[in-house]
Amino acid sequence: MCRRAPLALPSAAVLVGLLAQPGAAVNVPQAAVVSANPADWTPHVLDGKVDAIVQVGDTMVAGGLFTRVANAATPATAIPRSNIFAFDATTGVVDTAFASVLDGEVESLAMAPDGLHVFAGAASPRSTGSPRRVWSSCA
């Protein structure tokens, strides 16, 4: 289950400061574009896109804009997921116990300091007027 709270400006400033230092492999020029199928064992997003991915222990969490994913071994069997899903980092099998529902596109993911939770940054369409930024904590 996810808890949602509006992202306050002071929190955003702290978060930006924490995330401002790029990793060693970020923005490294590449000789070619990564293939459309970089690994045969990772899950497939069937109807959208992935915008962010983070590893938490042996689990990968992917977020974006989609409603269905599938295991690589059974691509015709759709698994309903609302913009976020988790899978085993070694086998690529979708974690069926992780079924958080987010009502907006997940634009960023970060591991919580406890190493057990994931923060998901999304533009939530369920607000008055224009979309608002929210962070959800998912276990």
Q: Which residues pair with 138 in a beta bridge?
A: 118
With tokens 């979309």, the residue in question is 131
Q: Tens digit of pLDDT for each residue in 21-73?
A: 444 555 667 677 667 666 788 999 999 999 999 999 999 999 999 999 999 99
Q: Which amino acid is at 19?
A: L
Q: pTM score, two decimals?
A: 0.67
Q: Tens digit of pLDDT for each residue in 106-120?
A: 999 999 899 888 888
The answer to whether 47 touches 70, Cβ cutoff 8 Å, is no
3-state secondary structure of 17: helix
